[in-house]
């Protein structure tokens, strides 16, 4: 398989949809003439025209609202919001309209809308542009929340998202766009709600999603040098969440650490910990631990930003505590 970037994997999925489904169109700020803030839609306006690739004003609530209306009318729009913090300006449209219309209409209305946005930190974008708010949207019934970690994830999950009959929040980590991985040239689909065991192990489970998956993999490599065999679980989607996959892994390893960029207090990692405690308590040999971002606004300075994010050294330290029976 060829090795391509995360960005190119997304482009391949979108190009396939634009070529094969006349109902599909893209809209968002600077996605057309400029080619997108992260160059994901570069050249699309020239290739598909302004009817299919629409530049919009800086008005997130209006853009998402227009996407909802178009989806209700039978089209299959993809709305791109530049970063996840800008989605706060459209949160009423997302939470009170997109997520609820199918339920409140007794299934008569469908909203096949993909909302793409960039999230996460590590790119020195400052406190107002470095959010990890995926847990907010995963809290809402009626929304699916997708968090690809690799180029392979990105292409397969975005293809599935375009074909879903109801709204999908598709969150891309800003630090991953240039990352590379093997991706099939042909189109393929990855199911929602099914995690990937990226590295099998026997001694403990490292659970991550999006950017934290790569931290978990690097930490697992360091732990292997200390004779600790860590399993790495890439969640891929937060809603639906692969609860069975999480529990199966923990029942095998008897220990778990949940890793996420988000703030620890009220973070999505706490939901995963609660599920493990509820469903696999008797299988645990130690408490479930979390390695999360610091509870501070994200610093701009590079060294401080890294200090506010979970790091491999912290994961390794927690793993050693778990495996040595010293976790408190």
Tens digits of residue pLDDT in 236-286: 999 999 999 999 999 999 999 999 999 999 999 999 999 999 999 999 999
Nearest to 158 by CA among 9, 55, 25: 9
Burial class (CB in 10 A: 0-12, 13-18, 19+), 294: middle
**Angle subtended by helix axes 6-20 and 151-162, to nearest 10:** 20
> 196-323, which class in CATH?
alpha beta
Same fold, 3-182 and 196-323: yes
Q: pLDDT tens for residues 129-165?
A: 889 999 999 999 999 999 999 999 999 999 999 999 9
| 8, 29, 60, 80: the active-site residue | 60
Contact 179, 213 (CB under 8 A): no
Selected catalytic residue, list 8, 29, 80, 129 = 129
Query: Residue 79 and residue 263: Cα distance in Å, rounded?
Result: 27
User: Coil, strand, or helix at residue 237?
Assistant: strand
- Compute the C-alpha angle 209/211/215, nearest 5°: 95
Task: Calculate the CA 126 to chain-centre distance.
Answer: 20
Q: What was the pLDDT predicted at 325?
A: 67
Model confidence at 302: pLDDT above 50:
yes
User: What is the per-residue pLDDT for 328?
Assistant: 44
What SS3 state is found at 121?
A: coil
The arithmetic mean of pLDDT across residues 74-102, rounded, is: 97
Structure token digits, residue 116 = 């793409």
Average pLDDT over residues 206-224: 96
* Mean pLDDT for the stretch of residues 289-308: 91
Is 60 an annotated catalytic residue?
yes
- Domain covering 3-182 in this structure, CATH number: 3.40.50.970
Query: Residues 13-19: what's their mean pLDDT?
Result: 97
Q: Residue 42: which of 33, 51, 29, 54 has the closest Cα?
A: 33
Per-chain mean pLDDT for the chain: 95
The 3-state DSSP class for residue 323 equals: helix
Q: How far is CA 51 from CA 26, 115, 158, 288, in A?
A: 9, 18, 21, 51
Domain ranges (residues) in the chain? 3-182, 196-323
CA distance 265 to 279: 22
Confidence (pTM): 0.95
Alpha-helical segments (H) within the chain: 6-20, 44-48, 60-72, 91-92, 101-104, 134-138, 151-162, 211-224, 243-253, 268-280, 302-308, 312-323
Q: What is residue 50's predicted lDDT score, i.e. its pLDDT?
A: 94
Residue 43, SS3 per DSSP: coil
- pLDDT value of position 318: 96
Torsion angle in degrees (nearest 10) through CA of 299, 303, 306, 307: -80
Q: 153: Cβ–Cβ under 8 A, 6 or more apart, which residues?
A: 190, 196, 234, 236
């Amino acid at each position: 398989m060829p090795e391509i970037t995360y960005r190119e994997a997304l482009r391949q999925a979108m190009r396939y949809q634009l070529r094969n489904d006349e109902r599909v169109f893209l809209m968002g700020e600077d996605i057309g003439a400029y080619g997108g803030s992260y160059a994901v839609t570069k050249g699309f306006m020239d290739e598909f025209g302004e009817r299919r690739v629409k530049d919009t004003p800086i008005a997130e609530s209006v853009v998402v609202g227009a996407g909802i209306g178009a989806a209700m009318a039978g089209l299959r729009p993809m709305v791109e919001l530049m970063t996840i913090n800008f989605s706060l300006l459209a949160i009423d449209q997302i939470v009170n309209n997109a997520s609820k219309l199918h339920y409140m209409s007794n299934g008569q209305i469908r909203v096949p809308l993909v909302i793409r946005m960039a999230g996460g930190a590590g790119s020195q974008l400052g406190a107002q542009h470095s959010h990890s708010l995926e847990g907010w949207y995963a809290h809402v019934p009626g929304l699916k929340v997708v968090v690809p970690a690799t180029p392979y994830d990105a292409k397969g999950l975005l293809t599935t998202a375009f074909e879903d009959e109801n709204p999908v929040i598709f969150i891309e980590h800003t630090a991953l766009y240039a990352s590379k991985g093997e991706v099939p040239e042909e189109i393929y689909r990855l199911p929602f709600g099914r995690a990937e065991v990226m590295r099998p192990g026997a001694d403990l489970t490292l659970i991550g999603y999006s950017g934290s998956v790569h931290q978990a993999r690097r930490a697992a490599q360091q732990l292997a040098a200390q004779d600790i065999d860590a399993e790495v679980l890439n969640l891929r989607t937060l809603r639906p969440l692969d609860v069975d996959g999480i529990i199966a892994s923990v029942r095998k390893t008897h220990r778990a650490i949940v890793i996420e960029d988000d703030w620890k207090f009220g973070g999505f990692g706490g939901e995963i910990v609660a599920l493990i405690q509820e469903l696999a308590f008797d299988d645990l040999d130690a408490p479930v631990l979390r390695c999360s971002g610091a509870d501070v606004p994200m610093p701009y300075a590079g060294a401080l930003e890294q200090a506010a994010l979970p790091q491999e050294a912290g994961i390794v330290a927690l793993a050693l505590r778990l495996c040595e029976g010293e976790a408190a």
